[in-house]
Copies of this chain bind each other. A is one copy, B any other.
Amino acid sequence: MKNKKKWVYFFGQGKAEGQATMKELLGGKGANLAEMTNIKLPVPPGFTISTEVCDYFSKNDHSYPEGLDEEFKANLEKLEKTSGKKFGDASNPLLVSVRSGAAVSMPGMMDTILNLGLNDKTVEGLAAKSSNERFAWDSYRRFIQMFGNVVKNIEHKVFEHELEKVKKEAGVEEDKDIPADKLKKLVASYKVAFKEKTGKDFPQDVNEQLADAVKAVFLSWDSERANKYREINKITGLLGTAVNVVAMVFGNMGDDSGTGVCFTRNPSNGENIFYGEFLQNAQGEDVVAGIRTPQPIAELEKVNKKIYDQLLEVRKILEKHYKDMQDIEFTIEKGILYILQTRNGKRTANAAIQIAVDLVKEKFLTEEQALLKVDPEQLNQLLHPTFDPKVKYNVIAKGLNASPGAAVGKIIFNSKKAEEIAMNGEKVMLVRAETSPEDLGGMHTAQGILTARGGMTSHAAVVTRAMGKPCIVGCSAVSINEEAGTCKIGLKEYKEGDYISINGTTGEIIDGQVPLVQPDISQGNFKVIMDWANRFRKLRVRANADTPKDCETSLYFGAEGVGLTRTEHMFFEGDRIIAVREMILAEDLESRKKPLAKLLAMQKQDFKEMLKIMDGLPVTIRLLDPPLHEFLPRTEEDLQAVAKELKVDIKKLKAKNESLHEFNPMMGHRGCRLGITFPEIYEMQAQAIFEAVAELHKEGIKVFVEVMIPLVGMVTELVFLKKRIKKIADEILKKNNADVPYKIGTMIEIPRAALTADIIAAEAEFFSFGTNDLTQMTFGFSRDDAGHFLGDYKEREILTTDPFVSLDVQGVGQLIEMAVKKGKSVRKDLKTGICGEHGGDPKSIEFCHKAGLEYVSCSPYRVPVAILAAAQAAVKENLTKK
């Protein structure tokens, strides 16, 4: 044999060449058909053409690999033998279904053809064999319709039009009432339509039919629809689809036949009842198409108790076998049950945790295994308010689902106004072209944020995710006319003060007020899952918290400390920004002292409040990080206002703005670089921190503060700053007789810091990986600009996942592993954690576990997600070891 690769896998008569673990190769459907065959469930025989053929097909100008043809023929012969029928045989024809099936379920995306193998001759054979002429011709006309549509792209309406004509002629309402002779006529007119549209006769050669159908499935893998679906659902790394060629069984052979879809448990709430629906005398497509209304599955017991009991048995076998809730398709052909498909059923977050808890109670799963059955990402659904599921509403536009949760509020265009109005107890929806740090006040008070511009990592998106506040960004359907106090969303014009609702989980914008439902995570299944997760995980989970409120939220969600406090966020609030601007505009150290003193008092109060809430838990405080120009106004109007407020010459303000301008601010004068050029700023912050610590110590609060220096690339930076901070800390603690432990450490967010981690660890008492910046520098991608090409990159499969969403293990991960290893080589008890956005991403958390970090830190609302993901990482490791 020239080619030893196996391309086709047979299943039938209780034996299959594939199995459930071969999803990558056979697709989900093919692998499960094989598995079900192996466990002796009644599956019609067939064979699966592997995804590798699809891959070859895509890469080789739609040609097939060598050896496929022979294998294909051999399998078809085997299928004929097994079924006792012959493909294209006029007297005893084998009919098949041709269905796609990739490793990941993509419902509705790939196309299916049923009844293939029918032609003018075999239709007669089918009629004779089934003693049902009507059924035979109905199958034929369905086949022509599907084949014409799927393979030849003939619009449905062409066939529907003919069907309607015939129904009128016959004087019937429903398809099933069309008599056989009219169906024959319909087939004839379908064939005419087929020729009109394609210029060719409908193929009578069954092998041509089959070849065309297989090719259509492979082509559909690369269709725009399928590509779009994969893009939206972030499905990447697949070879392609498999093609399943399965002997037909018919649910439409009379009232002793039927078809249905069911779940082994309720997918909405997880209740342990058999759930689903069926249609008598129908083919699968009838259920899907929704033309006839199916009956609840319980009704089947009355119709056919034997089959129903058999189905219950299948349900039991499948749940026991797959140890998970299953989504099953079945067909009854003349009183015989066939299982056409099984797969793990999709479920809501509520159902997921209910089922996981039940499966443990029922002893199907251990607690560890059950933890793996809940998608951490899905937990999000349970942490935010949602629209009342009982209420119907109209979506007026869609944007990017930047931060999950639902919110309702009055449209307000300006952050200051938002603050004012919220003060009166009104609910505000902040609607802006985009947000900047100056909008923080307004964002804090708003129920939700909607922006016309920006992507998933824009300012609005990042900040709201951290706040746990619903947000939709990049909604191009929004256009704001701030002067007129109006905006257009989709087709409707709104005035400031009008209500809208947004669903940050889906990106939907809804007219008016939709009632909300608040989550409760402190009891029930959620608590059970969290308790298990806390038992098994090794990683500690902290939260990124900038305010006392954030701290409270963090504790509520189970955080074990604060992993990142961005002190600059405190700089924007209220009249602090004035002091900050005074500080920036000060010409020398002397005149800088006054505004610094103001800030000192305010920061100290902030720290006291936060540290008090976090009593007994560690809190990492990052010293000032962003470049100073972020604190200055930008627009002419704001410049005027600020110049007036600060009583400075606007020219001076502009000159300062200009002198602070940077070509690449991301790599500019920020982080510890500011701390080195203006040591007085970090000194003020150190003083605020340790005075707060000393005072709280007197109150009996247990404080574990970790002072974090950002953007370190060279140990000399750390040495310079640590010395100054330590001096202040020790003086204050000594003066107050406060023997309180504290740590001074650094972020690792510059590649050079990771590369020289052994040198830096000699000075740093902890490393916190700032994976946002580390990703930027390692890739050389500016997060703000990468949108210019990331779309093309994903489309061309240069990148499979956005490295800002899920940590790039190969590159950035390599640096992290290197830094942990080097760091611990010189300081055994070096504490390591991660505080970038990746700290809340399940895949990234799994990496952190493997890399041996001590903790992850994420936004408060993602803490439960991180807890579960951390537990899953530990469980996976344990299971591998076993």
Taking Cβ atoms with an 8 Å cutoff, the residues of A that contact B are 662-669, 673, 676-677, 711, 713-714, 716-717, 720, 749-752, 755-756, 759, 773, 776-782, 784-786, 788-789, 792-793, 796-799, 808, 810-812, 814-815
Contacts and interface: CB of A to CB of B under 8 A. Distances in A.
Contacts of A669: 785, 788-789
Nearest to A674: B789
A773 B780 contact: yes
Contacts of A713: 778-781, 811
Given A664-B666, A677-B788, 19 more contacts: A663-B664, A663-B665, A663-B666, A663-B782, A664-B664, A664-B665, A664-B667, A665-B785, A668-B785, A673-B793, A677-B789, A677-B792, A714-B798, A749-B780, A750-B778, A751-B811, A752-B779, A752-B780, A777-B778
Given A751-B778, A779-B750, A798-B716, A663 B789 contact: no
Contacts of A786: 668
Contact of A780 (B711, B785, B793, B811): B711
A663 B788 CA distance: 11
Nearest to A628: B788
Contact of A796 (B667, B676, B784, B798): B676
A749 B751 CA distance: 13
Nearest to A721: B798
Contact of A751 (B716, B751, B789): B751
A145 to B, nearest CB: 37
Q: Within the oligomer, what is the number of copies of this chain?
A: 2
Contact of A667 (B667, B759, B815): B667
A21 to B, nearest CB: 27
Contacts of A789: 669, 673, 676-677
A799 B752 CA distance: 13
Nearest to A797: B716
A756 B810 contact: yes
Contacts of A755: 778, 810-811, 814-815
What secondary structure prevails in chain A residues at the interface with B?
Answer: helix
B664 A799 contact: no
Nearest to A750: B780
Given A755-B814, A788-B662, A811-B756, A667 B782 contact: yes
A218 B775 CA distance: 46
Nearest to A661: B785
A666 B784 CA distance: 12
A788 B628 CA distance: 12
A748 B788 CA distance: 22
A617 B131 CA distance: 83
A664 B665 CA distance: 7
Contacts of A778: 713, 750-752, 755, 777
A677 B798 CA distance: 11
A785 B676 contact: no
B720 A796 contact: yes
Contacts of A815: 751, 755
Nearest to A667: B782
11 contacts: A662-B782, A664-B667, A669-B788, A716-B798, A749-B780, A750-B780, A751-B778, A752-B780, A752-B811, A752-B812, A755-B778
A789 B627 CA distance: 12
A641 B199 CA distance: 56
Contacts of A663: 664-666, 782, 784-785
A382 B792 CA distance: 51
Nearest to A659: B788
Contact of A676 (B751, B773, B792, B808): B792
User: Which of A664, A717, A784, A815 is the most central at the interface, judged by chain B CB atoms within 10 Å of its CB?
Assistant: A664
Give the 4 A-B residue pairs with the shortest CB-CB distance, closest first.
A664-B782, A667-B782, A752-B811, A663-B784
Nearest to A716: B798
A386 B445 CA distance: 68
B714 A799 contact: yes
A676 B470 CA distance: 35
Contacts of A749: 780
Contacts of A677: 788-789, 792
